[in-house]
Homo-oligomer: A and B are copies of this chain.
Amino acid sequence: MKFLENGTVTSPKGFKAAGVIASVKPSNTTKRDIMMIASDVPCTTAAVFTKNLVKSAAVLVTKKHIENGVAQAVIANSGNANTCNADGIEKAERMAELAAENLGISADDVIVASTGVIGQVMPIEPFEKAVPEIAKLMSENGGSDACEAIMTTDTVKKESAVELTLDGKTVTIGAIAKGSGMIHINMGTMLSFVTTDAAISAEMLQSALREAVEVSYNMVSVDGDTSTNDTLAILANGKAGNEEITTRNADYAAFTEALTALCKKMAKKLAGDGEGATKLIVCSVKGAKTNSDAKGAAKAVICSSLVKAAIFGADANWGRVLCAIGYSGCNVDVEKVDVSFCSKAGEILVCKDGAGVDFSEELAKQILLENEITIAVDLNDGDGQAEAYGCDLTYDYVRINGDYRT
């Protein structure tokens, strides 16, 4: 298994994509904001969605369209979430129709996604105008443009691809994602689309996706707010020519491992580019009674506003880490907990057996001034482990979110 240089959603065989500037939000005249991804042939498909009771019309329409486990294209926009709108369903269905007409496929095989401001009526005109143009631009080099079109407050594009060998054939899995604010555990992303040329049944694809998401996107939090629009969809077109995966065999395991590695990489990209973030924070917990205890503790640490602010200030305030573990619900013996801070500048033990140890504040500062920080926690109480991904809390988070609509 290896990651590809410049990998994206058009890296697997038989996928094309494009994105254009359509001014869904009238003030946007410089950034691509509507995109499509399509496979040459129908795909098996699987997806996971937000658990928020308030759902985008796009989520509701997509759920209906992929009920049969088949899809062939994605249409998505930024600039408007199409959520809490009386005419939302109508608009989302129209997006699917436009994609289908211009791609020559069935509207029922189109996945629809939107991201942006909640509760503003979405104009359909930009889609009527842009979709025919996008259909003409679709190419095997279009993944990156599609990725740009789903960005909102994201400062970098998040795309990647991984390659593995299944059944003697080269199989590729590619992904794009957007997500910067309103990001929390289950699902910790706004939108992500994954493509693969593997041959795999819809049932096995859903199973592999759930396994991968559990330890990647579901372990990311930026600000504790679960979006209304979260959608992670995967399309598999079988063009690699491997024997179709229909059971949990060795090929299933290899495919799931590669998909998991890809999703973890994307999850870290999301966390590190959280709104206003200057640092990626990884909380790595081991020695828990169970994996579930480890997950609970790791999530609480990366969700703590106080830990996030301390890391922003490069302040080795480990007491806040202990505090978060203490209220996480994790079954923990607080007198056994060890905590270290690590980065490429080094590693420093700051808490042993639940109490402070003498440490060099100078070295701690150096470690915390890096842009990727690991908070390593050993609960010394079993074999359970987990990792969660977050970011620091900064002035810019407040600036960005104090005036988002305008």
List residues of A whose CB falls within 8 A of some B CB: 51-55, 81, 83-86, 117-121, 181-182, 184, 223-228, 303-306, 309-310, 312-313, 315-320, 322-327, 332, 334, 351, 353-356, 393-395, 397-406
Contacts and interface: CB of A to CB of B under 8 A. Distances in A.
A402 B308 CA distance: 8
Contacts of A317: 117-118, 404-405
Given A54-B334, A119-B318, 9 more contacts: A52-B323, A54-B325, A54-B354, A83-B322, A84-B319, A225-B305, A309-B402, A310-B401, A315-B402
A108 to B, nearest CB: 25
Contacts of A313: 401-404
A63 B355 CA distance: 21
A318 B120 CA distance: 10
Contacts of A320: 118, 182, 225
A322 B84 CA distance: 8
Contacts of A118: 317, 319-320, 322-323
A223 B404 contact: no
- Among A224, A225, A323, A394, chain B packs the most CB atoms within 10 A around the CB of A323
Contacts of A226: 323, 326-327
Contacts of A51: 327
Contact of A225 (B86, B312, B315, B324): B324
B53 A327 contact: yes
Nearest to A303: B224
Contacts of A225: 304-306, 320, 323-324, 327
A403 B311 CA distance: 9
A359 to B, nearest CB: 11
Contact of A315 (B223, B316, B404): B404
Contact of A81 (B305, B319, B351): B319
Query: What 4 A-B pairs are tightest by C-beta distance, nearest first?
Result: A118-B319, A313-B402, A54-B326, A309-B401
Given A84-B355, A121-B356, A356-B120, A182 B323 contact: yes
A53 B310 contact: no
Contacts of A120: 319, 356
18 contacts: A54-B322, A54-B327, A54-B354, A83-B322, A84-B319, A118-B322, A119-B319, A120-B319, A181-B306, A224-B303, A224-B305, A226-B326, A228-B323, A305-B305, A309-B398, A315-B403, A315-B406, A393-B398
Contacts of A325: 53-54
A86 B351 CA distance: 11
Contacts of A312: 398, 402
Contacts of A84: 319, 322, 351, 354-356
B52 A326 contact: yes
A394 B405 contact: no
Contact of A310 (B227, B319, B404): B404
A52 B121 CA distance: 44
A161 B87 CA distance: 53
Of the candidates A351, A355, A394, the one having the most CB atoms from chain B within 10 angstroms of its own CB is A355
A248 to B, nearest CB: 32
A322 B404 contact: no
Contacts of A54: 322-323, 325-327, 334, 354
A74 to B, nearest CB: 23
A317 B118 CA distance: 8
A32 to B, nearest CB: 23
A138 to B, nearest CB: 32
B119 A322 contact: yes
Contacts of A393: 398, 401
Nearest to A228: B323
Of A81, A332, A402, most buried by chain B (CB within 10 Å of CB) is A402
Nearest to A81: B319
B224 A304 contact: yes
